[in-house]
Amino acid sequence: MSATKANPHLSIVIPLYNEENNLEELYEELVAVLKTMGKSYEIVFIDDGSRDKSFEIVRKLYNHDKRITGLSLSRNFGHQVALVAGMEYASGDVVVMMDADFQHPPELITLLYQKYSEGFDIVNTRRVETEGIRIFKRLTSWLYYKLINFLSDMKIEASSSDFRLMNRRSVDAFLRFQERNRFNRGLITWMGFKQEIVEYKAPTRLRGRSKYTLRKMMSLGLDGITSFSSKPLRISFYTGLFIFLAGIAYAVFAIINHFRGMNIPGWTSTILIILLVGGFQLLSLGIIGEYIARIYSESKSRPIYFLKDKTGNENEN
């Protein structure tokens, strides 16, 4: 209470969603690593609407280590938004963001910091091989990065993760983004500055299951594509044009055949055309819909998140 809090040099930002079983051990490991670095630090945990005891554990940790701050969001806003909340709070000259599940090994922070000392503004990480990650996730992730790099004008590194170090200048720049549908990896690539990539080997999740359900992955994936590219809209235009022209050609062919008296029993071709054209129309509408949904959600300019609670609030008098 009496401590006048000087800004720490390092801020570690960790979003949590139902991570009660990882928290204590993560804290121990982090502190061990941070101790060897000999810099002042804070650890900011953002409880993203967990339904387990995550925030209570953060409180407990806070009660014996005031270098911890726990922020509790009013509901589950998603990993990307939780990261923003943590970065807005973090006051260090250097901010490191990482996951709570040990897939981002705390030891690596030393290496990230070393790169920062060499003069990089942003130090990203790339996982080279994740032990025991399901083939399905690895394959979809690989395909996704291929797709996003094909569609967008920006190159986003495959297998990049939200484990990175940013200096104050780049954090302040990052916080100027007002977007709601976020794909932070893309935004950070887009920002520029002096960036570096460090490779690491990710272990399997220590405990608990991945919080990225297929639905969350799809939604993050679509945000990544729609916020960096309008090519899908153009692709649907060109495909539409192609099908339209092919349709005209086929119509001419059908009319000529009609006058030459070669009546084809037309069931197959008719149904094919209906399916093709109908299917394509729905696809295009869907693509347009995805963009409109995002324009809509951005245009409402709603706050990105709300805080419900914060450590230190409970015993203030």
Q: Which does 82 bind (CB under 5 to 8 A by kind): ligand UDP, Mg ion, none?
A: ligand UDP
Residue 103 interacting with Mg ion (CB under 5 A): yes
CA atoms within 13 A on the CB side of 146: 6
Q: Which of 26, 31, 23 is nearest to 65 (CA)?
A: 31
DSSP run (H or E) holding 126 = strand 122-130
Beta carbons of 94 and 166 less than 8 angstroms apart: yes
Judged by CB, which is closer to Mg ion: 103, or 167?
103
Number of Cβ atoms within 10 Å of the Cβ of 266: 11
Rounded Cα distance between 169 and 57, Å, is 32
Stretch that binds Mg ion, among 96-104, 165-173, 216-224, 275-283 (CB under 5 A): 96-104
Stretch that binds Mg ion, among 28-36, 80-88, 99-107, 262-270 (CB under 5 A): 99-107
Rounded Cα distance between 100 and 83, Å, is 12
In the complex, the residues that contact ligand UDP under the rule CB under 6 A are 15-17, 19, 48, 76, 78-79, 82, 99-101, 103, 210-212
Q: Give 126: exposed, middle or buried? Use CB within 10 Å, 0-12, 13-18, 19+.
A: middle
Judged by CB, which is closer to ligand UDP: 68, or 287?
68
Stretch that binds Mg ion, among 21-29, 44-52, 101-109, 122-130 (CB under 5 A): 101-109
In the complex, the smallest distance separating the C-beta of residue 161 from ligand UDP, rounded to whole angstroms, is 7
Residue 121 interacting with Mg ion (CB under 5 A): no
Phi, psi of 199 (to 5 degrees): -95, 145
Stretch that binds Mg ion, among 3-11, 92-100, 112-120, 229-237 (CB under 5 A): 92-100
Q: Which does 76 bind (CB under 5 to 8 A by kind): ligand UDP, Mg ion, none?
A: ligand UDP
Judged by CB, which is closer to ligand UDP: 88, or 99?
99
What is the 8-class DSSP label of residue 160? Answer: B
Residue 101 interacting with Mg ion (CB under 5 A): yes
In the complex, the smallest distance separating the C-beta of residue 88 from ligand UDP, rounded to whole angstroms, is 15
Beta carbons of 15 and 44 less than 8 angstroms apart: no
Q: Which residues bind Mg ion (CB under 5 A)?
A: 99, 101, 103
